Chain A
């Protein structure tokens, strides 16, 4: 049975009609699919079928180890949303519930190749000199989470030094334990900076710039 209902599929098709450039979804699963890997792969296949502009490549986390290393992925299910290049936009776990909006946002954004960040933010991001890894922990039922995920993904698109992950907390309990995730959205930058809740673009940028200095 399909994951997306007929109604949702039609709405998605409508949104994706506006895609400009091509998009590639690189989906990592494994032969004996992890508990949610199957759902994630099916979701991405159904999405790819909604637009001729979207290509999908399904890879095996074990067999295609070099590819996984190339993308610097360390867990599955994992999905890379690529446009003209790999901008560092990652989804770990199934982007369901409210995060479905973040997936659609990432697709339309990489397709256009541009973000909606303010000129000032873009300018400041150009000054980064070291890699920055942003992880945003979410749940499917959190209405405040997509705003943060989307902001992080926009920054990844603008800066070749930023990699940004949506992480569905319910699928990675060991990470909840490692980072003490008791609230969502929770953002971890370069393992050193953490903050909870949705913050405005300017404040998020400050955290990113601070992470680089640590």
Chain B
């Protein structure tokens, strides 16, 4: 059993009256790395985030962050947080940015708790969140069998039959979490399974997984909880009905950009467009990690991009 000790709070007061050198939105790997790099350049830094750790908190085991052959996502983020707390960085946590504006050479950030902060530069590192299927009954059955967090909810499905929708690494990671407790795990993929071979082999070894490839979800059915899902062949008309109590949706993610939609230029898939210095279309506004157009969404890449964004912001501030 793991016991996660919270990182110690070194309180740096959060001030609405002052103008920060840099405001970082998000405290996942990208935001936290940016914060450390900014603080080492002695920039007056504020981090605003809903949580500390971001999506990596949901990674059961990370085997691709150099320096650690294996570490749980939670533990890795705890180490990031400890490093952040070594510096005089102001942290506004459990809050959410709802609006980002630029007037003259200042940025204004408004939060869900009604606070207003000002900064000379901003780094957006707000990452991504799970995408939904958009099929009938999905919305109403969220929390009633429909889940977007296998890491959180898997232990609730002990002895039950469940389905995972998706074919990439996140989907197979979810499958491997679920085989620990569920009775049977259907894995539904529109075309081929794209996940890394190690993840797929692990799923196969469990003896609990049935791959249903070449099908898409047509609808989820049930009264006040999930009872079954209806699948339809992607290249034909055949339908399949599976009796399941849980449907875990792992079909990728969508960037958290609502607060910046009118300010920064976005790609067709709503990612913030950045150049190789993490600059956006707006002077003084930088972005890093999963929220950007940088291909490959990985912890090590997000962290590296966070470092680059902070150094670019520093360069911008000394030239401004």
B57 and A143 within 8 A (CB)? yes
Interface residues on chain A, number (Cβ under 8 Å): 39
A140 and B2 within 8 A (CB)? yes
A144 and B51 within 8 A (CB)? yes
**Which listed residue (A4, A15, A39, A141) contacts B155, Cβ 8 A?**
A141
Interface of B (DSSP majority class): loop
CA distance A8 to B158 in the complex (A): 29
A141 and B152 within 8 A (CB)? yes
Is A68 on the interface with B (CB-CB < 8 A)? no
CB distance from B90 to the nearest CB of A (A): 18
**Which listed residue (A12, A15, A173, A183) contacts B147, Cβ 8 A?**
A183
Q: Mark B141-156, 1 if CB is under 8 A from A, else 0.
A: 0111101010111111
Is A176 on the interface with B (CB-CB < 8 A)? yes
B1 and A143 within 8 A (CB)? no
Give chain B interface residues in 13-68, CB to chain A under 8 Å.
Answer: 51, 53, 57-58, 60
Is A131 on the interface with B (CB-CB < 8 A)? no
A183 and B142 within 8 A (CB)? yes
CA distance A166 to B58 in the complex (A): 21
Number of A-B pairs, beta carbon distance below 8 Å: 100
Q: Mark B51-90, 1 if CB is under 8 A from A, else 0.
A: 1010001101000000000000010000000000000000
- Inter-chain contacts of B151 with A (CB < 8 A): 141-142
Residue of A nearest to B150 (CB): A141
**Which listed residue (B4, B113, B154) contacts A200, Cβ 8 A?**
B113
Is B246 on the interface with A (CB-CB < 8 A)? yes
Q: Given that A98-B74, A141-B152 are contacting pairs, would A170 and B4 also be in contact in the complex, using a CB cutoff of 8 Å? A: no
CB distance from B124 to the nearest CB of A (A): 22
- Inter-chain contacts of A39 with B (CB < 8 A): 1
CB distance from B202 to the nearest CB of A (A): 18
Q: Given that A143-B51, A182-B144 are contacting pairs, would A97 and B3 also be in contact in the complex, using a CB cutoff of 8 Å? A: yes
CB distance from A25 to the nearest CB of B (A): 15
Q: Mark A163-196, 1 if CB is under 8 A from B, else 0.
A: 0000001100100100011111010000000001
* Residue contacts A-B, CB under 8 angstroms, 5 given: A140-B1, A142-B149, A170-B156, A170-B158, A182-B245
Residues of B within 8 A of A (CB): 1-6, 8, 51, 53, 57-58, 60, 74, 94, 112-113, 142-145, 147, 149, 151-158, 181, 224-226, 245-246
Residues of A within 8 A of B (CB): 3-5, 8, 11-12, 14-15, 39, 43, 94, 96-98, 100-101, 104-105, 139-145, 147, 169-170, 173, 176, 180-184, 186, 196-197, 200
List the 4 closest pairs (A to B, CB-CB), nearest first. Answer: A183-B143, A143-B57, A170-B155, A142-B152
